[in-house]
Amino acid sequence: MDDLLVIVPCGRSKVWDKSPEHGPTPVRDAYTGSPFKVNREYAEYLCPTCDNR
C-alpha cells in the first residue's frame, strides 16, 4: 500500500474558530469538524504506515 494516495476533504471548522490565539498548526490538527476527523481516521486505517503529512 506504499503507493496509496488518500485525499481527505477538509471542512469549515478549524482550531482557530475556538482558539484564535492558536499559532501555526499542522493541517492534520487544524481541521476540527467531525466529517474531517472521521475521514482522517479512515485514511489512517487504510494505510497506517503511510506518511501523514
Q: How many domains does the chain have?
A: 1
Residues 11-33, mean pLDDT to the nearest whole number:
92
Residue 23: predicted pLDDT? 95
| Structural domain of 29 | 1-53
Residue 11 has pLDDT above 90, yes or no: no
Q: Which long-range contacts (CB under 8 A, 24 or more apart) does 11-19 make?
A: 11/35, 11/36
Nearest CA to 13 among 5, 2, 22?
A: 22
Residue 1: predicted pLDDT? 56
3-state secondary structure (DSSP) of residue 32: coil
Residues 16-20, mean pLDDT to the nearest whole number:
95
Residue 49: predicted pLDDT? 78
Residue with cell 506518511: 51
